[in-house]
A and B are shown apart, each in its own frame.
Chain A
Amino acid sequence: MSALAKDTHHDHDHKPTGLKRWFFSTNHKDIGTLYLIFALTMFFVGGAMAMIIRAELFQPGLQFVDPQFYNSMVTIHALVMIFGAVMPAGVGLANWMIPLMIGAPDMALPRMNNMSFWILPFAFALLLSTIFMQGGGPAGGWTMYPPLVLQTGDAFPFLIFAVHFLGISSIMGAINIIATVFNMRAPGMSLMQMPLFVWTWVITSFLLIASLPVLAGAVTMLLTDKYFGTSFFSAAGGGDPVLFQHIFWFFGHPEVYILALPAFGIVSSIIPTFSRKPLFGYASMVYATASIAILSFFVWAHHMFTVGLPIKGELFFMYATMLIAVPTGVKVFNWMATMWKGSMTFETPMLFAVAFVILFTIGGFSGLMLGITPVDFQYHDTYFVVAHFHYVLLTGAVFALMAAVYYWLPKWTGHMYDERLGKIHFWLSTISANVLFFPQHFLGLAGMPRRIPDYNIQFADFNMISSIGGFAYGVTQLLFIYIVIKCALGGKKAKAVSWEGAKGLEWTVPSPAPFHTFETPPKIRKEMLENG
Chain B
Amino acid sequence: MKSIYQKFLAFIIFTPLTAIADWGLNMTQGVTPISKEIYDMHMLTLWVVTIIGILVFGVMFWSIFHHRKSKGAKAAKFSHSTTVEIIWTIVPTAIIISLAIPATGLLIRMDDTSEAKITIKATGIQWKWKYDYLDEDITLYSSLDAKSQEVAQRDSGQNPMEHENYLLDVDEPLVVPVNTKLRILTTAEDVIHAWWVPELGWKRDAIPGFINDNWAVIEEPGTYRGNCTEICGKGHGYMPIVVKAVSMEDYETWVDDKKALKLAALESQNKILTMDESMAEGEKVYKKQCLMCHQANGEGVPGAFPALAGSEIALKKENTLEHLYRIIYGKNLMPKFGDQLSDVEIAAVTTYERNAWGNNTGDLIQPKEVAEARKNQTK
**Segment 354-384 of A: residues with Cβ below 8 Å from B:** 354, 357-358, 361-362, 365-366, 368-369, 372-375, 377-378, 380-382
Chain A residues near B108 (CB-CB < 8 A): 311
Chain B residues near A372 (CB-CB < 8 A): 41, 45, 99-100, 103
Say if the beta carbon of B362 comes within 8 Å of chain A. no
Say if the beta carbon of A332 comes within 8 Å of chain B. yes
Q: How far is the CA of A459 from the CA of B227 in the complex (A)?
A: 14
Q: How far is the CA of A478 from the CA of B49 in the complex (A)?
A: 35
Chain B residues near A454 (CB-CB < 8 A): 152, 160, 167, 237-238
How many residues on the B side are at the interface (Cβ–Cβ under 8 A)? 104
Say if the beta carbon of B68 comes within 8 Å of chain A. yes
Residue pair A368, B49 in contact (C-beta under 8 Å): yes
Chain A residues near B7 (CB-CB < 8 A): 464
Residue pair B209, A339 in contact (C-beta under 8 Å): no
Residue pair A374, B23 in contact (C-beta under 8 Å): no
Which one of A37-45, A255-263, A320-328, A391-399 is at the interface? A320-328
Residue pair B45, A369 in contact (C-beta under 8 Å): yes
Say if the beta carbon of B318 comes within 8 Å of chain A. no
Say if the beta carbon of A68 comes within 8 Å of chain B. yes
Chain A residue nearest to B97 in the complex (CB): A322
**Segment 311-352 of A: residues with Cβ below 8 Å from B:** 311, 314-315, 318-319, 322-323, 325-326, 329-330, 332-333, 336-346
Chain A residue nearest to B162 in the complex (CB): A457
Residue pair A445, B11 in contact (C-beta under 8 Å): no
Chain B residues near A278 (CB-CB < 8 A): 77, 79
Residue pair A153, B304 in contact (C-beta under 8 Å): yes
- A374 interface neighbour in B77, B89, B93, B110, Cβ under 8 Å: B110
Say if the beta carbon of B379 comes within 8 Å of chain A. no
Chain B min CB distance to A370 (Å) = 10
Chain B min CB distance to A344 (Å) = 5
Residue pair B209, A344 in contact (C-beta under 8 Å): no
Q: How many A-B residue pairs have CB under 8 A?
A: 314
Say if the beta carbon of A139 comes within 8 Å of chain B. yes
Main secondary structure of the interface of A (DSSP, over half): helix
For B229-242 the 0/1 string (1 means CB < 8 A from A) is 11111111110000
Given A147-B191, A361-B56: A336 in contact with B63 (beta carbons within 8 A): yes
Which of A66, A240, A461 has the largest number of chain B CB atoms within 10 A? A461
Residue pair A326, B96 in contact (C-beta under 8 Å): yes
How many residues on the A side are at the interface (Cβ–Cβ under 8 A)? 106
Chain B residues near A242 (CB-CB < 8 A): 207, 210
**Segment 160-205 of B: residues with Cβ below 8 Å from A:** 160-161, 163-168, 190-192, 194, 196, 198, 201-205
For B113-135 the 0/1 string (1 means CB < 8 A from A) is 00000000000000000000000
Chain A residues near B303 (CB-CB < 8 A): 133-136, 153-154
Chain B residues near A140 (CB-CB < 8 A): 231, 233
Say if the beta carbon of B338 comes within 8 Å of chain A. no
Which one of B80-88, B253-261, B368-376 is at the interface? B80-88
Q: How far is the CA of A516 from the CA of B287 in the complex (A)?
A: 69
Chain A residues near B204 (CB-CB < 8 A): 306, 308, 377
**Segment 446-480 of A: residues with Cβ below 8 Å from B:** 446-447, 449-462, 464-465
Say if the beta carbon of B270 comes within 8 Å of chain A. no
Chain B residues near A322 (CB-CB < 8 A): 96, 99-100
Residue pair B60, A148 in contact (C-beta under 8 Å): no
Say if the beta carbon of A524 comes within 8 Å of chain B. no
Chain B min CB distance to A399 (Å) = 16
Given A148-B231, A344-B64, A365-B53: A375 in contact with B41 (beta carbons within 8 A): yes
Q: List 6 A-B contacts (CB under 8 A).
A: A284-B85, A322-B99, A330-B88, A337-B84, A344-B67, A375-B103
14 other contacts beyond A63-B154, A241-B209, A447-B227, with CB at 8 A cut-off?
A280-B81, A330-B88, A330-B89, A336-B59, A340-B63, A341-B75, A358-B60, A362-B53, A368-B45, A369-B42, A372-B103, A377-B201, A445-B26, A450-B229
B interface residues, Cβ below 8 angstroms from A: 4, 7-8, 11, 23-28, 37-38, 41-42, 45-46, 49, 52-53, 56-57, 59-60, 63-64, 67-70, 73-81, 84-85, 88-89, 92-93, 96, 99-100, 103-104, 106-108, 110-111, 151-156, 158-161, 163-168, 190-192, 194, 196, 198, 201-205, 207-210, 212, 226-238, 301-304, 333
